[in-house]
Amino acid sequence: MIDLCVRPEFVAQIAGYVQSAQRRPGLHALVDVGGGTLDVVTFIVHERDGEDVFPFLVPEVRALGTQLLDANRLVDASKLGEIHPWDGLAPVLCAAEFARTNALPEDYVCLRDGIFWEAVRDVVKGVLHKTKVRRYRLSSAWTDGLPTFFTGGGATIDGYRKSVKEGGECHAKVVNLMPLPFHPRLAEFTGGLEEYQRISVACGLALDAFALGHIRPAREVEDDLAPRQPVLERPGHEELYAR
């Protein structure tokens, strides 16, 4: 009998990190830029009784992947140029190359990109705002630097990198963007870090479920709320105006 276990993708992705010498406890973030979606999650790397524990804090998935970047550039573009058939599997072009390929004004493509990058910034900013205000107020990462795994097929695109940093640094003093490190079991992997980002999920999912630690979904993690100030009791009317 095979015991099937559903595991969050990001847990499989960071399997290499939590078993590496680079591992650090505390607050982390992961930003995964895929073809269809932008996935952002804050989480804690923690150990309890010898077992890895990963409390989710704020997960967010938005339709802001690389295919949507190109689709956004083509909004109303048929009025301005001759649009070539769109190949969703083709590499993402910079604004200037995309404009030349589609005979579009470059300033129009840049304008559309600006709208898109603002949306990416807002997603990252919103996730970290909620994390800082409600989920993990006193983490040292807010001042010392937030370790942020930046991965996925779109992680090489400058616009995503810049937008993630700008959105994150609205709340963290420094956002340390870093690739996922190789899993120790892949000592013979000959590809580079960029190639590993694409197979990190598969590598993590190939592990025994127990090796991935204990996952606590966000709904099971209580908010980190500031203690309420004691309410001072006001003297009653009779005490104030005692005869």
pLDDT in tens, 16-52: 777 777 788 899 999 999 899 999 999 998 877 777 7
Report pLDDT for 4: 46
Q: Could you give the CA distance from residue 44 to residue 58 in angstroms, rounded to a whole number?
A: 11
User: Does a structural domain hold residue 90?
Assistant: yes
User: Does a structural domain hold residue 74?
Assistant: yes
Instruction: Kindly tell me if the per-residue pLDDT of 154 is higher than 60.
Output: yes
CA neighbor of 178 nearest in space, from 16, 51, 12: 16
E strands, the chain, in order:
26-33, 38-48, 51-62, 146-151, 175-178, 214-216
Average pLDDT on 171-179 reads 95
Give the structural domain span for 166.
9-240
Instruction: Kindly tell me if the per-residue pLDDT of 123 is higher than 90.
Output: yes
User: Does a structural domain hold residue 2?
Assistant: no
CB atoms within 10 A of CB 3: 5
User: Does a structural domain hold residue 3?
Assistant: no
User: Does a structural domain hold residue 1?
Assistant: no
Report pLDDT for 54: 81
Strand partners, 177: 148
Lowest mean pLDDT across 141-150, 156-165, 178-187, 209-218: 209-218
Structure-block tokens of residue 40: 């952002």
Strand partners, 62: 38
Read off φ and ψ for residue 176, nearest 5 degrees. Answer: -90, 95
pTM of the model: 0.79
Report pLDDT for 67: 93
User: Does a structural domain hold residue 162?
Assistant: yes
Number of domains in the chain: 1
Contacts of 175 (CB under 8 A, 6+ apart): 29, 145, 146, 148, 164, 165, 168, 169
pLDDT higher at 201 or 150: 150
Q: Are 226 and 138 in contact (CB under 8 A)?
A: no
Report pLDDT for 1: 42
pLDDT tens digit sequence for 42-66: 999 887 777 778 888 999 999 999 9
Q: Percent of the chain, pLDDT > 70?
A: 68
pLDDT tens digit sequence for 185-239: 655 666 665 655 555 554 544 444 445 566 777 888 888 877 666 555 555 444 4
Q: For position 166, which CATH number holds?
A: 3.30.420.40
pLDDT higher at 111 or 215: 111
Secondary structure class of 52 (helix, strand, coil): strand
pLDDT tens digit sequence for 81-92: 556 666 666 789
Report pLDDT for 239: 46
